[in-house]
Structures are given as structure tokens and as C-alpha cells.
Structure 1
Amino acid sequence: MADSENVSYPSIDPSTFDLIVVGTGLPESVIAAAASAAGKSVLHLDANPFYGSHFSSLTLDNFTSFLQSNCDTSSSSSMEDDTVNDGTEYNLVNLKPRRLYSDIEISYLVSPESLEPLRKFNLDLAGPRVLFCADSVVDLILKSGASHCLEFKSIDATFIYGIDGHGRLLSVPDTRAAIFKDRSLGLAEKNQLMRFFKLVQEHFGSEGAGGDRQEESGRISDEDLESPFVEFLKKQRLPPKIKSIILYAIAMADYDQDSPEVSNNLLKTKDVVQSLALYHSSVGRFQNAMGAMIYPIYGQGELPQAFCRRAAVKGALYVMRMPVTSVLLDKESRHYKGVRLASGQDLFSHELVMDPCFTVRLPSLLSPSSNLQYENTEGKVARGICIIRGSINPDLSNLLVVFPPRSLCTEQVTSVRALQLGSNMAVCPSGLSVLYLSALCDDAAQGRELLRAAMNVLFPLPISKNSESSTSVETEGAEGETKPILMWNSIYVQELSMGSSEAVNICPMPDGTLDYRKLLESTVKLFQKIYPEEEIFPHSVTEDTEDNGDLPSEMPE
């Protein structure tokens, strides 16, 4: 964060806008770009010297300092003297930082010099995260013109752990050709998986052909669609191995679907079938994407930057290293009027959008529902980052590993996901890989235990911190396969909560899912709440280009 002491802040002119956006996270950047495209005057502010906020990709040293500066502390929750009357026509409601991270552990298993140059790393704060080729986020990227500022590579393969009873990583067969080539499945299992995929495809094919409701035409009945998906799978008589592949490695279910203690998280058949249809429609959408998922080169922090560039092309004004200290409320109407900057300047707008790392209370000024409140309704997500020498699979650079519930320990009720990215993604120096892990959890101890269990599978032998030669020594697993070397890792816990207020608009924080769909859905709803008469990016952008000195790039074709 910017240091407000001994800093000379520029004066911003004009001082009145249609929309002020605080924070350059992905949701804030999408809203800024959409509002600018709709002809609104937009001011976009960020206290950080970099774009992306909690969706950014940072160098190794910047990642460490940012994470530690945003660590949860008890002192940050003090809410005294929030509202100030400074003698002007406005009441000032102070903004206080809200820390998203806790239980931070950072370990160097080799000397820091072994990881040089640190600037070659682009580490995602909110990993692991990918885009499905056919999902609504990719469509929005294309529609908005943000694709002019982005380039992607595909995730080459997905693996699932522990479904064969031997503690191995098995490749996930997600296409007809992959099923036929798969050596871990028997002929009967291949036929069962093929029949199930065909059923899903025929279901959506019959809907697209006019909504034929005859079950014999391939459509899944309405009764089955509303039932828990595990019940539907029982009707299909699929073996446990196939069910795990479908549920956790293709549909990406977060919670154990077979245990009554997590029955509140059971997925309906209609939701899973939609996820399966998205997965299969993603395979083959782009010629040079090998599978269903893609990832932005240089890290997911490129996504908010791309939308910020689109907003700037449409006239949005950007000021970085500019903290906002207070919200201005009219004394008479008690309605939002503007913000006060760390420079002391007051800026005004019709609407305000803020990222989720602020705490605001409006005591005695407005009704309780107007206060900015956070509800911790979703628990927490434990995130981990590992820098490794080598690869989990020596033949692949970019891959996803899924650890289904109960595969690591009997107490595991959530999936653990690990996304490995190689240097061809421009996220690390050559010869190294970055591995992102995540697990939904109820508390920090549970989350850390799950991530460590997954790491222990991938890196079975500990490495001495004092061993200078450890970066050049490879270890072998039980069956002789080469294991990568763990060089550096970090584990931290992020809370998952939703903020709401009538006075200001709060963007969603990074969630615990693998993709961006829920995040985008919340962002679009927020934009529609602010501008109910406007369509978000109503026209596809094909003619707009920006001469910003960046290398030309595009979506895969």
C-alpha cells in the first residue's frame, strides 16, 4: 500500500464524475470498462503502485510484502471515530483497511539467490484459477475488446489422485479420443463413460433442437434434473472411479457428494450437467488449446489490466498510488456524495464502487441496512504457492491435479486443486514451475493440513534448508518416477465473505472456485444494479485498437 507520509499527491481535475471506482481488482476493472463503454465518466483509483489488487500477479518479493501487509490483525478491527464532522457540508465516514489474509507461512527451502531473478516471477494472489474456453468470461473478454491486450496458453492435461486405490495420479479422459487411449480404464469403464458423455450431449442437443421433452430422444427428465446428482449417477450404475472423474475432475465439485454430513452442499443434476456441457463445449473451441482450460500469459493479473486498458481507451481516468481515506455523505439527505483522498482533495460522483478490502460503518447516520456489513457465509479458502524445479509430469508444463474428497485423508470433505504452470506461461524462470493449491475449509488449521497433504504427495521428501545442492538433485517416488524439487512455498488463508450496503457498492472478493463464472455473475449483477438501463458491453469491439506500446497479442484462434 502507498505510504501517506511525505508523499506529494497530484491534484485531480475534473473533480466530478459519473462513477468513482476504488481498487483495480478484476470486478472493479470490468465495471469501470463497462461504464466507460456506456459513455459514463469514470475515475479509477488505487492505493497500490500496481494493477489488480487481490487479483494481481506479483514478483516474488512484491508478493511477500503485499501478503504480509494485508495480514489480518486484531488491531485492524477497531471501529472508533468512524464518522467525522469537519465543519463542511459533508459528514466524513472513515475507510479502514480490512485484511483478507491470515496464518501466513513463507518458507525458503533453498537460498534466495537460487531463485534469482525475482522479477521473473509473476505469482497470483488468488490462485489457482483458470478460464474454460467456452465460458461467459471468455465471451466477455472477446465482446469488450479486452482480448486485444491478452494472450493465453492452454492447460495441457488434468490428473486425478487416489481413485485407483494405489495413490497414483491418473490422467482424466475428457474426450472420445482420450477415453480410447486411456490405459487406466478397463473396456467396460470406457464404455460407461462414453455412454454418460453421450447422454449429456444428447440432452443439450435436444434442448437446442426445440426443447423436445421425450426421454427417448436423449433428454434427461425434469425429475432427475432437480434431484441430487449423486442419485442420478446411481441410476446410471457408474462405478466409483468413473463417478469421481465426472464429479471432481470435470464438473469440479467442491464438496464431498457422498457424505450426509455435507448434504447441504449436494449439487443438483441440472447444475452438474450444465458444468459438464460447458467443459465439453470448451474442448476444441480454440485450435491451439489442447484441452478445456486456458490461462493468461504473465498471470491472471493481466485480466484486470486488460479491462483497465479498455476503460482508458473509452476515456476513464486512472490514478495509482492514491489512497481514499473517507466517504462523503450529505448532512441533510445522508446520501453518498463523494470521497476524500489522502491528498485532502474531495472528489464527487453519482456512484461509488469499492473493492472488498475496506471496512465502513455509518452509525447514527443511516438505517442499519445502509452500513457496510460482511457476512462470513462461505468459510475460508486456504491457498498455497510452491516454486519447484522440474515438473509433476516431465512431459507437460501446464497441468491441473485434482485431489477428490477423502483421497488425502478420511477427514477431507472438500476437493484440493493444484495448478502447475511452467516458464512458457512467463510466470517463472526457465527450468522452474509454479504450483498453486487451494482448498475450501472451515478454519485455518484444517486448510493448512489439506494443502500440506497434497504437497506431500507431489513432493514426498523434505529438503534441507541448508542444502545448497538440493536444487540439482532429483528424488524418486515408490515406483521410480522423478519427483520435482520444492524450492520455496507459501501457505495463507483467505476469508470468504460477502459485503453489502445501500450506501456504497462493494465488489466481490476472490472466491474459492477454480474459474471466474461466479465472480463474473456477481459483477454483472452489481453493474446492472448501478446502471439498470445499460447493457454490459452491448456491442462487440472489433475496430478499437490502442497504441500503448505493448506487444500485440490476441485470443487463441
Structure 2
Amino acid sequence: MESLSDTNWDVVISGTGLQQSLLALALSRSGKNVLHVDPNDFYGAAEAAFSLQEADEWAGKNRDEPTLTPSIFAAAEVTKPATVGERGLSFPRAYSLALAPQIIHTKSELLSQLVSSKAFRQVEFLAVGSFYIFQPSSSSSSEASTQPSLSRIPSTREDVFASTAIPTRAKRSLMKFLKFVLEYDAEPQTEAWKARAGEPLVEFLASEFKLDERLRADVMTLTLSLDGAISVGAGLAAIHRHMTSMGLFGAGFAAVYPKWGGLSEVAQVGCRAGAVGGAVYMLGTGVTDVQKTEEERNLDPELPLGISLSNGISIRAKTLVQPAQLQTGGGDAVSLSRLTAIVSSDMSSVFEAMMDGAPTPAVAVVAFPPGCISTDGQESSKFPIYAMLHSSDTGECPTGQCVVYLSTLSTPTSKTILEKALSSLLAAVTDSDSERPTVLYKLSYEQTSGSSTSVNVDGAVVDLPPLPLDLAFNDAVMGQVRAAWDAVTKCDEPDGSVQYMKFEDREGAVDDDNFD
């Protein structure tokens, strides 16, 4: 077997994040010499999932506040209870906490390509159930106090008809909007919104469809907008995606979630496909230097890059695909505050099937509209807060417990706001006669995505931007992966004869699932 330095590498992929791992999947039938390295000792990069011990170690390495050198993660902190009892934490590997959980709509291009590449058989997808809005407690001198509650959002016409909480007149307005959004990108609907595409969606809902404040909040929640100020054009597209995804893979759900850690599991499937295709994998090894001088090209025009690895080995390659350096300047940079909590309850009330024949969901989404959570100093939340509740069916916690992933745009008080939101959520899911669930473990951190959203190709070096911090998978990522694949393969197959992400079954594979 040739040594690393003696091998003529077609492509070196740095990092095992989702994009790089999907690229490895796309190249797995190409016959190319692929070296896939990662400076981390785990797969998944910013999309990784950790056991409790791994999460503790990761937090220790990412606890510092942001510096002049931007980093994806910062201010990580683990908090554990002072005491544990019958309902305490299980052993560390009983957990798989996702750094960046995202739901995947059933119409997503990611799912289509996992099917066409036959990789879907290696991922178990679970249904994402209801979307809820948090309703704060209320009290007045004339009314009895009420505890906070969760209100399920109707997202289909059947939901609207069945709802007893929506007045008849408001139902008509909502039905009009749902009918409109199903065909929003066709005439004559486009005439109603194209000229207002850049305006805030919430204003459009009020003026065009006369939706009241409560129904506007319901619709805005389905967009999963991080700032609550999504535009008409983007908002209608998001609602359309949600509604047209409903029922595609089964009754009662519009999105799915990969078991055992979300996108981390998809990344590992891509890496496994790359390994089966002959790629060489090296964790704990990063790229420290890249030389692409005229002198290097003269030495071997076919291998224009001289690459130094952190283990001291120097190699040569035709192409390098690597994560882009994080750039936080510009209007597209996003920073999220995240809080992951393990609680001592299965939270079963939020995981009920939405209709007869629907699967029991493993994920539920709770939205806290802006202003409904306040700090002790009475500073209200400026942006929406989202909580993704994952049952033990996800494989991320033991039976009888639940993992809650909370996130909101970063502000000076966002960490405190998330703590308050978690406490309020637990109060909302607890009956007045029941004991409130205990928080067994908390992991808080800041996560930043750069301002760059496009692939940069500089000769033989391809830079991939970080994954967007959206709460639902953004299919623009698939375009980034395709652009990297084109940069690697375009010189080899100018006629386009190589099929991208469309593979025949390997010998011995059996297709028992009718997804094609």
C-alpha cells in the first residue's frame, strides 16, 4: 500500500461537516483517490452529536468568549444538578446531544438525494409532530390566575375545521390564506404579493387576509423565522413548503428527523459511503498549510497543490475542499444562543399523533413569540424563541426523559431569556396536580454562522461556507455541495456522463422500501 505522501490524491476533503460528508457520498462511486481528514476526533464538525462525556469535553474546549478571531462556537457551559436520584442521569453514552438540530421537510432536496443515492436505507427517519405556541399565564383582579399553556397550531385545512379555539369568521380568513399559499407562485396569486415581496410577512397577513394577532403568530411560527421579521416572499415560500410537505410520507406530519443525532447521523452515512468507495479517513488530522505557487505547478501540473497535514505528513493533490474561514462582517452573519436541557419527564402530552393513522411523533416544536418571556429585570425577549422537544424515540436520551433544544438570536440577555423559557415550558406541560419535571443537565453555548453563503472556487481550492443556522434544513446547502462536486469532477467528465447522487444498488443490497 502506498503511503499518504506517495499517493496522487484527486481530492482532499477537510472537515466532516454535513456538506463535506455529502460530497464524500457524491464522490463515493467516482473511482477517485479521496483523502478525508478532520482536525477533530469526532465526525460531524458543527453538526456533531455527543454523549454526555463528549459534551463535557467539548464545552471545556469552547468555553471562551468570542475573540478577535471568530469561531463557530463560544461561551459553552455545562450545568449539572447538585443531586441525582431515581430520575437522575443515566450513563453518558445513553445520550446523543445534537449541536445544531434541524428538522427536514419531507419535500427537501436532501431527502430526494438520499433516496437517489440509496443512502436513505442507512438512516432511520422519525416524524416531527405538532407545532405549538406558548401562552403565558394570566391573572387579573376579575379573573382567576391561569398557568402557562401550549396551544397547537393548525397547519392544514382539516386542522382549521376541527379547531374549537378559532372563531368562525377567523376560520374563514385563515382558510382563505391557506388556499392562497398553496398556489402562491402561480397567477393570479402572484399579483397580490410580488410587489410586496420585501415587506414583512406579518403586515401582509394583517392587511391582505385580516388575520388577527393570534393567527398571525400561528402562521409566523410555521416559517421558523429566527428574527420574526421574515419577508413576504421568503415567508410564503416557507409556509408553502410546510403545507405541501404535509402527508407526503404519511399522515399527520410535514417533516422528519434522523434518529441518533439528527444531521450528525446523515454526515456519518456520507462518510461511510466514502469509505466503502475507497476514501481514506483520518480524524485528529487537519490541514495546516496549502501551497499553490507556480513552482508547485511546475513540479507536477496534474497535482498543483502541496498540502501539509498536522501530523507532519506532506501530500500532493489535484483539489482541496475545505471549510471557508468564518467571516462575521456583513448583514448575513447570524449568531444564536442555544440551551440544550435533559429533563426528567417524557413530556408525552406534546408527542401525541395529530390524527388517526399518523405515527407517534418523536419531535415537537414550541414557539415563544417575541415579548412573552422576560428576565427578572423585566427585559422582554426581543426575538422569537424556539424549543425543539425530542423524545427518547430519537435515541438522544433514555426512556422516561426528554431533550429540549432552545434557541434564539443572541443578545446580551439571551442566555437568561432561554433559562426563563425553559422554566416556563416545563410549567406549561405540567398539570397543576403534578410535579414539575427536573432539569438533569444543561449545555449552553453561542453559535455563529458566517456572512458568506456561497461556495468560493479559487483554482484548485474550494471553500464551503458553514451550514446555515436555520431550524429547518435549508436546501441551498445542496447547491453548495453540487458546486463543490462540479469543481472536483468537471475536468474529468466534460460531457456530464457521471450521474450526480444517482447510484445503482451495490451488489447484495435489497430494496424493500417503495420510495423511488
Q: Give runs of aligned pairs for residues 451-470 of structure 1, distance below 5 A.
A: 451-460=418-427
1:505 to 458, 462, 484: 462
Counterpart residue number, 1:262: none
Which whole-Å CA distance do the structure 1 matches of 2:61 and 2:487 have between them?
33
- Kept in 2, the 8 Å contact 1:15–1:346? The answer is no
* Residue number in structure 2 paired with 1:339: 307
Per-residue CA deviations over 1:137-194 (Å, capped at 9, x if unaligned) read: 2112222222121011101211112389774311011112222232332222222212
Whether 1:290 aligns to 2:263 is no
Shift of 1:134: 1.0
For 2:218, the equivalent position in structure 1 comes to: 245
Residues 160, 522 of structure 1: alpha-carbon distance in 2 compared, 3 angstrom cutoff: farther
Deviation at 1:227, TM superposition (A): 4.5
Q: CA separation in 1, counterparts of 2:274 and 2:135?
A: 46
Instruction: Tell me by how many angstroms 1:334 deviates.
Output: 8.5
Residues 375 and 536 from structure 1, CA distance in 2 versus in 1: closer, same or farther, beyond 3 angstroms?
farther
TM-score with structure 2 length normalisation? 0.81
User: Of residues 82, 101, 105 in structure 1, which corresponds to 2:77?
Assistant: 105
Alignment partners' CA distance in 1, 2:430 and 2:66: 44
Note if contact 1:155-1:290 (Cα within 8 Å) is conserved in structure 2.
Answer: no
TM-aligned CA deviation for residue 337 of structure 1: 0.9
How many corresponding residue pairs? 473
The question of whether the paired residues in 1 share the 8 Å contact of 2:59 and 2:77 is answered with: no
> Which of 232, 235, 255 is matched with 2:227 structurally?
255
Distance in structure 1 (CA, Å) of the matches to 2:405 and 2:311: 38
- Superposed displacement of residue 429, structure 1: 1.1
- Cα distance in structure 1, aligned partners of 2:63 and 2:133: 33
Residue type of the partner of 2:371? R
1:61 partner SS: helix
Structure 2 CA distance, aligned partners of 1:305 and 1:476? 37
**Residue 447 of structure 1 corresponds to which residue in structure 2?**
414
- Aligned CA RMSD, in angstroms, stands at 3.4
Q: Which residue of 1 aligns with 2:356?
A: none
Once residues 392 and 298 of structure 1 are traced to their aligned partners in structure 2, the CA distance between those partners, rounded to angstroms, is 19
- Deviation, structure 1 residue 60: 0.8
Determine helix, strand or coil for the equivalent of 2:10: strand
Amino acid in the other structure paired with 1:389: S
The letter of the residue matching 2:235 is V
Query: Within 1, Cα distance between the matches of 2:435 and 2:514?
Result: 34
Alpha-carbon separation, structure 1, partners of 2:38 and 2:59: 17
1:12 is the counterpart of 2:4: yes
1:153 aligns with 2:122: no
Percent identity over paired residues: 22
| Cα 1:440/1:226, change in 2 over 3 Å | closer
Task: Report the CA distance between 1:554 and its aligned residue.
Answer: 7.0
Alpha-carbon distance in 2 for matches of 1:298, 1:486: 21
Alignment of 1:497-536 (within 5 A): 497-498=450-451, 502=458, 504-517=461-474, 518-529=476-487, 531=489
Taking the aligned partners of 1:546 and 1:319, their CA distance within structure 2 comes to 28
Say if 2:402 is the partner of 1:416: no
User: Is 1:311 matched up with 2:274?
Assistant: yes
Change (3 A) 1:226 1:324: closer
Residues 1-57 of structure 1, C-alpha deviations (whole Å, 9 max, x = no match): xxxxxxxxx953752211100111101111222234445332111233332122111
Q: Which runs of 5+ in 1 are unaligned?
A: 1-9, 78-97, 208-212, 258-265, 357-371, 462-474
Map of 1:369 onto structure 2: none
Whether the aligned pair in 2 keeps the contact of 1:384 and 1:438 (CA below 8 Å) is: yes
1:56 and 2:48 equivalent? yes
Q: CA deviation at 1:330?
A: 2.9
Shift of residue 539, structure 1, vs aligned partner: 5.4
Contact preservation (8 Å) 1:202, 1:219: no
Counterpart residue number, 1:136: 109
Aligned counterpart, 1:407: 372
CA distance in 2, matches of 1:495, 1:413: 18
Q: Counterpart amino acid of 1:404? A: P
Does structure 1 retain, via aligned residues, the 8 Å contact 2:72–2:326?
A: no
> Letter of the aligned partner of 2:365 in structure 1?
L
Answer yes or no: is 1:385 the counterpart of 2:340: yes
- Among 492, 500, 518, the alignment partner of 2:445 is 492
Relative distance call for 1:326 and 1:55 in structure 2 (3 A) is same
Match of 2:142 in 1: none
Residue 538 of structure 1, aligned match among 492, 500, 505? 500
Name the CA distance, whole Å, in 1 between partners of 2:395 and 2:63: 28
Q: How far off is 1:66 after superposition?
A: 1.8
Distance 2:216 2:498 in 1: 38
8 A Cα contact 2:174 2:209, kept in partner:
no
Q: Please tell me the residue identity of whatever aligns with 1:188.
A: R
- Structure 1 distance, partners of 2:389, 2:198, is 36
Match of 1:184 among 146, 162, 165: 165
1:430 and 2:399 equivalent? yes
Contact 2:14 2:38 in 1 (8 A): yes
The CA distance in 2 between the partners of 1:231 and 1:164, in whole Å, is: 27
**Native 8 Å contact 1:459 1:486 kept in 2:** no
> Which one-letter code corresponds to 1:271 in the other structure?
A
**1:66 partner letter:** W
Cα distance between partner residues in 2 of 1:53 and 1:432 = 26
Quickly say closer, same or farther: Cα 1:453–1:376, change in 2 above 3 A. Answer: farther
Following superposition, the deviation at residue 333 of structure 1 comes to 6.6
Alpha-carbon separation, structure 1, partners of 2:434 and 2:515: 33
Moved more, 500-509 or 37-46: 500-509
Whole-angstrom CA distance in 1 between matches of 2:66 and 2:212? 49
1:235 counterpart = 2:235? no
Aligned to 1:24: 16
Quote the Cα distance in structure 1 between the aligned partners of 2:129 and 2:515. 14
Deviation at 1:319, TM superposition (A): 2.4
1:421 aligned partner, one-letter code: H
| Aligned equivalents of 2:346, 2:65: Cα separation in 1 | 36
Describe the shift of the 1:116–1:515 C-alpha distance in structure 2 as closer, same or farther (beyond 3 A). Answer: same
Shift of 1:412: 2.7
Deviates more, 1:231-240 or 1:325-334: 325-334
8 Å Cα contact 1:23/1:53 also seen in 2: yes
Question: Is the contact between residue 163 and residue 244 of structure 1 (CA under 8 Å) also seen in structure 2?
Answer: no
- For residue 291 of structure 1, give the secondary structure of its aligned residue in structure 2: coil
Tell me the secondary structure at the aligned position of residue 312 of structure 2. coil
AA at the equivalent of 1:543:
D
TM-score (norm 1): 0.76
Residue in structure 1 matched with residue 143 of structure 2 by the alignment: none
CA distance in 1 between partners of 2:130 and 2:50 (Å): 26
Given that residues 376 and 496 in structure 1 are in contact (C-alpha distance below 8 angstroms), is that contact kept between their aligned partners in structure 2?
no
Q: 1:68 to 1:272 in 2, by over 3 A?
A: same
1:366-411 Cα offsets, whole Å, 9 max, x none, are: xxxxxx5623432411111100111445362531111122222464
Letter in 2 for 1:45: V
Q: Which one-letter code corresponds to 1:486 in the other structure?
A: V
Task: State the match for 1:279 in structure 2.
Answer: 242
The answer as to 2:187 corresponding to 1:222 is: no
SS at match of 1:271: helix
Distance 1:381 1:318 in 2: 31
- Give the Cα–Cα distance (whole angstroms) in 2 for the partners of residues 380 and 553 of structure 1: 43
Task: Pick closer, same or farther for the CA change 1:508–1:221 going to 2, 3 Å.
Answer: closer
